[in-house]
Amino acid sequence: MSKILIRGARVLGGEPQDVLIDGETVAEVGTGLSAEGAEVVEAGGKVLLPGLVDLHTHLREPGREDSETVLTGTRAAASGGYTAVFAMANTFPVADTAGVVEQVWRLGREHGYCDVQPIGAVTVGLEGRNLAELGAMHESAAGVTVFSDDGKCVDDAVIMRRALEYVKAFGGVVAQHAQEPRLTEGAQMNEGVVSAELGLGGWPAVAEESVIARDVLLAEHVGSRVHICHLSTAGSVEIVRWAKSRGIRVTAEVTPHHLLLTDELVRTYNPVYKVNPPLRTERDVMALREALADGTIDIVATDHAPHPHEDKDCEWAAAAMGMVGLETALSVVQETMVDTGLLDWAGVADRMSFRPAQIGQATGHGRPVSAGEPANLTLVDTAYRGQVDPAGFASRSRNTPYQGRELPGRVTHTWLRGKGTLVDGKLT
């Protein structure tokens, strides 16, 4: 078996240590390690993290392979330091049967850039009417544990209640895209001063908050677990904080872009900033950062949403919603959370690896960097600063809001079960 010796890495941001990988596992962590015949990686003070886990990725396959495929998406994931991604169900066909989730899962295994855990749809065709075969998807080879109609809200209170109850049978979790549909008809951006000025349909914060409030109460009532996707408002944070204080089993995620960007950017009418949920205000951004720091928001999830160039190279109203995120997530988290002093690297490991793996039950991921654990690791050059250049993205799509923006941090190595998927900044 091949051995890799990572020398002088700051594990979770601590003092430099050596980490020896033997085969698929971490063999030893310590100082002054040496190993006969091991390939040596000089980390030189770079930060070593457990491989990142993204609970919210859109891989687009099957159906929209012009935007992304399992192969290109997992290569993007490896570039960004991820070793596991959860693939959202809004594909064509929708991942609402055992067959489709197994197909996605197999493609992930074949390509080998990171583990792909499919998310199953909550309702048939994401139509919000009839429950999909949640049990069959769980029992399939893909072993689905997370269910979501993401892209759409499960807005029918009865369907949401039943889904929450039903997945208790096998310990699943329902991930809600909280968006009250009537309050967001024709909505194109955050409702507020900017939308009023630009004449773009407003997307009120309360459309998100009212659904979250309802769902945490439903989860409490039926004694189940609910996960809230991409929180975007200060009010949503308050509701989740209240629910947690009450003992309700709710977890929540925030995207990197909601930690950094505001609706002021929409003044450019550049559809690269068009995203669901929309970019909110500075006040919301600050509340989200604080909530991620204090643990009210459990995890960072990318909501990586690739779209081809022509779907964004048009007027705002016609443009698709979404941004790619896998390859810039860690940099944005460093910029907004680490360099601001809100979170240390151990905190980043917690929010981007340990906890997302726990919520999604991705066994083998989100484990401590210690002897005997699977060698899913990411090495980050945190001293780096540079402009984002989407031309170098591994994703098939380039719809990033960060083009030309200077961001800190660069992933140089990613190992999936001891195998380098990204080595010296290059995909293998």
Partner 1 sequence: MHRHLISAADLTRDDAVLILDTAEEMARVAARPIKKLPTLRGRTIVNLFFEDSTRTRISFEAAEKRLSADVINFTAKGSSVSKGESLKDTAQTLEAMGVDAVVIRHGASGAPYRLANSGWIDAAVINAGDGTHQHPTQALLDAFTLRRRLTGRDTGLGQDLSGKRVTVVGDVLHSRVARSNVDLLHTLGAEVTLVAPPTLLPIGVESWPCAVSYDLDSTLPKSDAVMMLRVQRERMNAAFFPTEREYARRYGLDGDRMARLPGHAIVMHPGPMVRGMEITAEVADSDRCTAVEQVANGVSIRMAVLYLLLGGNEPAVTHARPSVSHHQPADERSAHTPFTAEEK
| 150 contacts Zn ion (rule: CB under 5 A) | yes
Please choose, out of 26-34, 149-157, 256-264, 404-412, the segment that lies near Zn ion by the rule CB under 5 A.
149-157
- Partner interacting with residue 150 (select from partner 1, Zn ion, none; CB below 5-8 Å by kind): Zn ion
Q: Binding partner 1 by CB under 8 A: which of 195, 255, 336, 399?
A: 195
Residue 408 preceded by cis peptide, ω within 30: no
Is 59 annotated as ligand-binding? Answer: yes
Neighbours of 318 (CB within 10 A): 11
Residue among 278 and 374 whose Cβ is closer to partner 1: 278
Active site residue: 22, 155, 303, 381, which one? 303
Q: Between the CA of residue 211 and those of 128, 183, 187, what are the distances in Å?
A: 14, 11, 16
Q: Please identify which residue in the block is written with the tokens 């139509």.
A: 127
Residue among 199 and 404 whose Cβ is closer to partner 1: 199
- Partner interacting with residue 422 (select from partner 1, Zn ion, none; CB below 5-8 Å by kind): none
Q: Binding partner 1 by CB under 8 A: which of 50, 51, 172, 202?
A: 202
Calculate the dihedral angle through the C-alpha atoms of 275, 280, 282, 288, rounding to the nearest 10 degrees: -90
Is the separation of the CB atoms in 349 and 382 below 8 Å?
no
Phi-psi map region of 322: left, alpha, beta (phi>0 left; psi -120 to 50 alpha): left
Please choose, out of 105-113, 255-263, 312-320, 363-371, the segment that lies near partner 1 by the rule CB under 8 A.
312-320
What residues have CB less than 8 Å from 107, skipping those under 6 apart?
61, 69, 70, 71, 116
- Partner interacting with residue 145 (select from partner 1, Zn ion, none; CB below 5-8 Å by kind): none
Q: Is residue 361 classed exposed, middle or buried when 0-12, 13-18 and 19+ CB atoms within 10 A define those classes?
A: middle
Q: Binding partner 1 by CB under 8 A: which of 92, 314, 363, 386?
A: 314
Residue 66 among the catalytic residues: no
Is 177 annotated as ligand-binding? Answer: yes
Is 309 annotated as ligand-binding? Answer: no
Is the separation of the CB atoms in 399 and 322 below 8 Å?
yes
List the interface residues with Zn ion, window 170-229 (CB under 5 A). Answer: 177
Least separation, in Å, of the C-beta of 198 and partner 1? 6
Residue among 17 and 176 whose Cβ is closer to Zn ion: 176
List the interface residues with partner 1, window 250-279 (CB under 8 A). Answer: 268-269
Is 90 annotated as ligand-binding? Answer: yes
Least separation, in Å, of the C-beta of 276 and Zn ion? 6
| 198 contacts partner 1 (rule: CB under 8 A) | yes
Please choose, out of 154-162, 190-198, 392-400, 401-409, the segment that lies near partner 1 by the rule CB under 8 A.
190-198
Q: Between the CA of residue 404 and those of 79, 391, 397, what are the distances in Å?
A: 18, 11, 16
Is 276 annotated as ligand-binding? Answer: yes
| 308 contacts partner 1 (rule: CB under 8 A) | no
Is the separation of the CB atoms in 297 and 347 below 8 Å?
no
What's the farthest any 2 CA atoms get from each other in the chain?
A: 67
| 196 contacts partner 1 (rule: CB under 8 A) | yes
Count of residues engaged in binding partner 1, rule: CB under 8 A: 23
Name the token pair of 212.
């979250």
Is 60 annotated as ligand-binding? Answer: yes
Is the separation of the CB atoms in 263 and 278 below 8 Å?
yes
CA distance 259 to 190: 15
| 313 contacts partner 1 (rule: CB under 8 A) | yes
- Could you give the 3-state DSSP secondary structure of residue 203? strand
Is 284 annotated as ligand-binding? Answer: no
CA distance 173 to 362: 13
Sheet holding 82-87, edge to edge: 52-57, 82-87, 115-118
Sort strands 189-190 and 202-203 into parallel, antiparallel or unpaired. Answer: parallel
Residue among 197 and 424 whose Cβ is closer to partner 1: 197
Residue among 40 and 314 whose Cβ is closer to partner 1: 314
Name the token pair of 2.
């091949």
Site string for partner 1, 138-177 (x = CB under 8 A): ----------------------------------------
| 311 contacts partner 1 (rule: CB under 8 A) | yes
Using CB under 5 A, list all residues that contact Zn ion.
150, 177
Catalytic residue annotation:
303
Which segments are annotated as binding site for Zn(2+)? 56, 58, 150, 177, 230, 303
